[in-house]
């Protein structure tokens, strides 16, 4: 059953602040790629590369991520930019590199940045879109994002998504999808990276977890918490002793 998107109240963050106009314009301001402005083949190729950079988060598009059929359709204007973005998002390469290695919450965060050009407002929005993934699957989630009113008003059919409104921390769509804590801990980065290995080796808590049962070193913190009072031996000099008083008398 298709559940409606849960309502959530957006919080005030930088990506919701109205553009500051000339204060946002500098050398990092993203160029807006539109299919209507592409009159020649090189310009259409620039639009295609912009789509790849936005969806796959790459400055240098890898050959095995390319979708030749979709490129040909866009060059001949059989499909729109929105359809091209949709095809890239539903491709096998995107699924293997982004979808399969993330949980739903992080997947929502990555997709909002790449398809809507903004970060998630808060945890409530992540939960709402995660329910969409659970009920519609990832393909239905992509359709819900790209067919949403927000996407239509921001980009329409012929504009490549870009980071919108206040420019801070750009480009923030360059998120490494495989470096969430789930991937590090479960897939094996923390076990194969030598930095994590050395950190664990020299970490005292890690060493204590490997101690056998009954080892006194496991109870050092407990013993220190008790804080017993140290008793020192009495300092007594031989000259202070009255030997004659201590010798028993004979009657």
- Mean pLDDT within 226-230: 68
Domain that holds residue 206: 194-240
Does residue 9 belong to any structural domain of this protein? no
Query: Domain check: are 173 and 228 in the same one?
Result: no
Q: Among 166, 187, 208, identify where a domain stops.
A: 187
pLDDT per position as a tens digit, 14-40: 555 555 555 556 656 677 889 988 888
Does residue 250 belong to any structural domain of this protein? no
- Which pLDDT value is given to residue 246? 74
Query: Domain check: are 144 and 23 in the same one?
Result: yes
Q: Which of 4-13, 104-113, 214-223 has the highest mean pLDDT?
A: 104-113
- Which pLDDT value is given to residue 166? 57
Query: Domain check: are 164 and 201 in the same one?
Result: no
pLDDT per position as a tens digit, 157-205: 999 998 876 555 555 556 655 555 555 555 555 555 666 666 666 665 6
- Which pLDDT value is given to residue 176? 58
Query: Domain check: are 213 and 173 in the same one?
Result: no
- Which pLDDT value is given to residue 82? 95
Number of domains into which the chain is organized: 2
Output the average pLDDT for the chain. 77
Does residue 212 belong to any structural domain of this protein? yes
Query: Domain check: are 34 and 75 in the same one?
Result: yes
Q: Among 143, 172, 187, identify where a domain stops.
A: 187
Angle between helices 81-89 and 68-75 (to 10 degrees): 180
CATH number of the domain encompassing residue 178 = 1.10.3130.20
Tokens of 16: 């919701």
**Residue written as token pair 């076990």:** 191
Residue 138 pLDDT grade (very low, low, confident, very high; cuts 50, 70, 90) = very high
Query: Domain check: are 168 and 200 in the same one?
Result: no
Q: Which tops the pLDDT comparison, 150 or 29? A: 150
Query: Domain check: are 73 and 146 in the same one?
Result: yes
Residue 48 pLDDT grade (very low, low, confident, very high; cuts 50, 70, 90) = very high
Q: Among 160, 187, 214, identify where a domain stops.
A: 187
- Which pLDDT value is given to residue 182? 56
pLDDT per position as a tens digit, 56-113: 876 545 777 888 899 999 999 999 999 999 999 999 989 988 888 888 888 998 899 8
Provide φ and ψ at 143, rounded to 5°. -60, -40
Query: Domain check: are 176 and 227 in the same one?
Result: no
- Which pLDDT value is given to residue 213? 75
Query: Domain check: are 177 and 215 in the same one?
Result: no
Residues 6 or more apart in contact with residue 15 via CB below 8 angstroms: 118, 119, 164, 165, 166
Does residue 163 belong to any structural domain of this protein? yes
Verify cis geometry, omega within 30 degrees of 0, for the bond prior to 6. Answer: no
Does residue 226 belong to any structural domain of this protein? yes
Query: Domain check: are 119 and 80 in the same one?
Result: yes
Q: Which tops the pLDDT comparison, 215 or 11? A: 215
Contact 50, 160 (CB under 8 A): yes
- Which pLDDT value is given to residue 60? 47
């Amino acid at each position: 059953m298709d559940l409606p998107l849960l309502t959530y109240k957006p919080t005030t963050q930088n990506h919701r602040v109205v553009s500051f106009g000339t204060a946002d314009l500098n050398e990092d301001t993203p160029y807006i790629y539109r299919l209507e402005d592409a009159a020649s083949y090189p310009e259409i190729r620039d639009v295609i590369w912009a789509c790849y950079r936005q969806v796959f988060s790459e400055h240098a598009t890898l050959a095995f991520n390319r979708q030749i059929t979709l490129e040909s359709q866009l060059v001949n204007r059989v499909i729109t930019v929105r359809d091209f973005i949709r095809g890239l998002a539903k491709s096998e390469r995107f699924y293997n590199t982004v979808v399969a290695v993330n949980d739903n919450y992080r997947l929502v965060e990555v997709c909002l940045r790449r398809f809507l050009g903004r970060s998630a407002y808060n945890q409530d929005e992540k939960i709402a879109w995660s329910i969409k993934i659970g009920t519609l699957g990832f393909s239905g989630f992509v359709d819900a994002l790209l067919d949403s009113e927000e996407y239509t008003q921001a980009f329409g059919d012929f504009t490549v998504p870009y980071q919108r409104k206040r420019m801070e921390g750009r480009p923030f769509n360059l998120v490494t999808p495989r470096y969430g804590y789930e991937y590090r801990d479960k897939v094996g980065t923390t076990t194969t990276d030598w930095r994590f290995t050395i950190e664990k080796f020299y970490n005292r808590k890690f060493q204590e977890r490997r101690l056998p049962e009954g080892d006194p070193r496991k109870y050092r913190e407990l013993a220190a918490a008790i804080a017993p009072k140290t008793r020192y031996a009495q300092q007594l000099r031989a000259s202070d002793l009255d030997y004659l008083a201590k010798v028993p008398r004979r009657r």
